[in-house]
Homo-oligomer: A and B are copies of this chain.
Amino acid sequence: MGDKSVQKKQYIIDVAAKVFAEKGYKNVTMKDVVDACDISRGGLYLYYESTTELFIDVMKSQFESREDFTELISDDATAADILLLFLQEEKKELFRKKGNLNRAYYEFYFDLRPSKGDNVYKKEFDSNVKMICKLIEIGVESGEFVCDDPLTAALNIVYVLEGMKTTALTLGVSPDSFDRQILYILQSLGVDA
Contacts and interface: CB of A to CB of B under 8 A. Distances in A.
Nearest to A180: B152
A167 B171 contact: no
A50 interface: no
Residue among A110, A171, A180 with the highest chain B CB neighbour number at 10 A: A110
A170 B107 contact: no
Given A24-B111, A110-B24, A111-B24, A181 B159 contact: yes
Interface string A153-190: 10110111111111101111000010011011101100
Interface in A91-137: 103, 105-107, 109-111, 113, 119, 121-122, 125
A1 to B, nearest CB: 13
Contacts of A152: 180-181, 183-184
A31 interface: no
A14 B153 CA distance: 39
A53 interface: no
A149 B110 contact: no
Contacts of A122: 171
A127 B58 CA distance: 38
A26 interface: yes
A75 interface: no
A71 interface: no
Contacts of A167: 125, 159, 162
A-B complex: 9 closest residue pairs judged by Cβ atoms: A159-B163, A162-B163, A163-B163, A109-B170, A188-B188, A152-B180, A26-B26, A159-B160, A152-B184
Interface of A: 24, 26-27, 103, 105-107, 109-111, 113, 119, 121-122, 125, 148-149, 152-153, 155-156, 158-167, 169-172, 177, 180-181, 183-185, 187-188
